[in-house]
């Protein structure tokens, strides 16, 4: 292989470059990035950067030592076998990593909508979070909760509008999500409420009603950034469809991070996980696959969120309807068990030990004793 193109210069993109080099690939690498920044981490955008504790979150990497031709501001426009079409002409490749991540979904309407995906978004929004400003946040998911945390800290009047009956319903289910409602003290939290459109000066609600706001932030989810692949002869369905080696349907092409929809051997289903750990770790498998090695990506998915002074961590994967067992103490966690009492997922709130131990137990397919599990004083690894 002489030339690998990596499209997307986020975490998944730069980790792909690093993985290729650390596995001994010495040919050319071109890294295309739509943004004009060098690669940076996104989790701090809704935390330290939005809170004003930090201005940036650049990935600690040495582009010169990696001998990569990094092209900021160059966008991939199309793909056919062996060729990427870009805003600066066509580039031939014999290996391609698709690492274009995801992009925020927005709402109808002519009013200004802030999203939080890029470093520029974070700086723009931070400048608007000033004391006394009325901020309407649409969506009480991970991003919405973290933006609400920062907005309250900045002294804003905050309204959070959520279509479901509880925050975090999509990720954790309504029952667990409802446990975070008390965290919204001092915030006008409107559940079971839908926005019809964002207009000048606020948002219109479905069924009538208007929420006045100086700043409207939309955090209702993201979709894989794959428009540039629309005409390509590539299997796309909720992301780039890959096998367990992260190999896409076109020869010499792999996908990583938010945009990869891979076959999970562990769970016997397809997974697309829009979280940092996937962007960090999937590139090693993708690089190995491009280099003809036999590597399988089969993680226990993991993510975290910092909101309202709490650390929420989740590991695993649980289909709807999976049995749960709660561990209640001053902090709490919940474990999902399959029909054979095998642990398949865990969420821990301010209980990092349960998360770490739970993640290992999930990887080991451990069967747990429910009677011991309900006792929060028994370590998870001893259940």
Q: Which of 260, 267, 266 is nearest to 281 (CA)?
A: 260
Q: How is residue 200 annotated by DSSP? A: T
Among 31, 116, 195, 240, binds ligand FAD (CB under 6 A): 116
Residue 207 CB, shortest distance to ligand FAD, in Å, is 30
> Rule CB under 6 A: is residue 257 a binding residue for ligand FAD?
yes
In this structure, the chain runs to a length of: 383
- Rounded to whole angstroms, the Cα distance separating 256 from 16 reads 8
Task: Tell me how many residues contact ligand FAD (CB under 6 A).
Answer: 36
68 vs 337, which CB is nearer to ligand FAD? 68
Contacts of residue 171, Cβ cutoff 8 Å, sequence gap at least 6: 141, 142, 177, 314
By CB under 6 A, is residue 101 in contact with ligand FAD? yes
314 contacts ligand FAD (rule: CB under 6 A): no
- Range in contact with ligand FAD (rule: CB under 6 A) among 8-16, 53-61, 131-139, 370-378: 8-16
Q: Which of 128, 179, 275, 310 binds ligand FAD (CB under 6 A)?
A: 275
List all residues 6 or more positions away from 376 whose beta carbon is below 8 Å from its beta carbon: 327, 328, 329, 332, 333
CA distance 81 to 98: 14
- Strand 102-104 with 222-224, pairing: antiparallel
**Contacts with ligand FAD in 52-91 (CB under 6 A)?**
75-76
Applying CB under 6 A, does 301 fall inside the site for ligand FAD?
Answer: no
Token readout for 146 is 């973290």
| Contact window for ligand FAD (CB under 6 A) among 54-62, 237-245, 297-305, 335-343 | 297-305
Selected binder of ligand FAD within 30, 46, 57, 334 (CB under 6 A): 46
| Residue 139 touching ligand FAD (CB under 6 A) | no
**What is the distance between the alpha carbons of residues 60 and 366, in angstroms, rounded to a whole number?**
36
Residue 329 φ then ψ, to 5°? -145, -150
Closer residue to ligand FAD in complex, CB, 46/159: 46
- Please state whether beta strands 69-72 and 76-80 pair in parallel, antiparallel, or not at all (unpaired): unpaired
Q: Among 203, 279, 300, 361, indicate the residue that binds ligand FAD (CB under 6 A).
A: 279
Calculate the CA 71 to chain-centre distance. 24
Q: Is 130 helix (H, G, I), strand (E, B) or coil?
A: coil
Min CB(57)–ligand FAD separation in Å: 10
Residues 213 to 232: which contact ligand FAD by CB under 6 A? 225, 228
Enclosing H/E stretch for 16: helix 11-22
8 A C-beta contact, residue 134 and residue 161: no
97 binds ligand FAD (CB under 6 A): no
Select from 40-48, 160-168, 179-187, 318-326 the region that touches ligand FAD (CB under 6 A).
40-48
Q: Is 32 a binder of ligand FAD (CB under 6 A)?
A: yes
- Distance between CA 50 and CA 344 in Å, rounded? 34
Q: Which of 109, 133, 153, 304 binds ligand FAD (CB under 6 A)?
A: 304
**Residue of 4, 5, 8, 216 that binds ligand FAD (CB under 6 A):** 8
Taking the C-alpha atoms of residue 236 and residue 61, their distance in angstroms, rounded to an integer, is 31
Which of the ranges 100-108, 127-135, 153-161, 194-202 carries the binding residues for ligand FAD, by CB under 6 A?
100-108
Using alpha carbons, select from 243, 280, 237 the residue that is nearest to residue 259: 237
CA dist 149 → 180, 189, 357 (Å): 13, 13, 28
284 scored as a contact of ligand FAD (CB under 6 A)? no
Q: Out of 5, 7, 79, 97, which residue is the one contacting ligand FAD (CB under 6 A)?
A: 7
Are 141 and 170 a contacting pair, CB within 8 Å?
Answer: yes
Least Å distance, CB 280 to ligand FAD, is 8
Q: How far is the CB of 124 from ligand FAD (least distance, A)?
A: 13
Compare residues 59 and 378 and give the one whose CB is closer to ligand FAD. Answer: 59
Look up tokens 């990583």; give the residue.
256
42 binds ligand FAD (CB under 6 A): yes
Residues near ligand FAD, by CB under 6 A: 7-13, 32-35, 42-43, 45-46, 75-76, 99-102, 116-117, 143, 225, 228, 257-258, 274-277, 279, 303-305
């Amino acid at each position: 292989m002489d030339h690998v193109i990596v499209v997307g210069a986020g975490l998944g993109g730069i980790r792909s470059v690093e993985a290729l080099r650390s596995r001994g690939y010495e040919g050319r690498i071109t890294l295309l990035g739509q943004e004009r920044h060098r690669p940076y981490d996104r989790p701090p955008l809704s935390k330290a950067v939005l809170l004003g504790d930090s201005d940036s979150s650049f990935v600690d990497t040495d582009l010169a030592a990696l001998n990569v031709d990094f092209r900021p501001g160059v966008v991939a426009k199309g793909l056919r076998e062996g060729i990427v079409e870009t805003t600066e002409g066509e580039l031939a490749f014999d290996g391609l990593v698709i690492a274009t991540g995801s992009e925020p979904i927005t709402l109808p309407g002519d009013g200004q909508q802030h999203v939080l995906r890029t470093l520029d978004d974070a700086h723009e929004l931070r400048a608007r979070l000033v004391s006394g400003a009325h901020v309407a946040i649409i969506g009480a998911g991970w991003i919405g909760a973290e933006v609400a945390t920062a907005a309250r800290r900045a002294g804003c009047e905050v309204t959070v509008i959520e279509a479901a009956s509880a925050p975090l319903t999509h990720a954790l289910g309504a029952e667990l999500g409802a446990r975070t409602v008390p965290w919204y003290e001092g915030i006008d939290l409107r559940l079971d409420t839908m926005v019809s459109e964002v207009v000048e000066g606020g948002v219109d609600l479905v069924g009538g009603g208007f929420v006045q706001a100086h700043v409207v932030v939309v955090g209702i989810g993201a979709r894989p950034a794959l428009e540039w692949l629309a005409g390509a002869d590539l299997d796309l369905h909720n992301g780039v469809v890959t096998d367990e080696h992260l190999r896409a349907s076109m020869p010499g092409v792999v996908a990583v991070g938010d945009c990869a929809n891979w076959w999970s051997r562990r769970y016997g289903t397809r997974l697309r996980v829009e979280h940092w750990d996937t962007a960090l770790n999937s590139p090693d498998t993708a690089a190995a696959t491009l280099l003809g090695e036999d590597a399988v990506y089969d993680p226990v998915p993991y993510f975290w969120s910092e909101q309202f002074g709490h650390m929420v961590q989740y590991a695993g994967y649980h289909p709807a309807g999976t049995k749960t067992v709660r561990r209640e103490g001053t902090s709490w966690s919940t474990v999902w068990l399959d029909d054979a009492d095998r642990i398949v997922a865990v969420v821990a709130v301010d209980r990092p030990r349960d998360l770490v131990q739970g993640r290992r137990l999930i990887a080991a397919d451990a069967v747990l004793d429910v009677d011991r599990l309900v006792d929060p004083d028994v370590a998870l690894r001893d259940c």
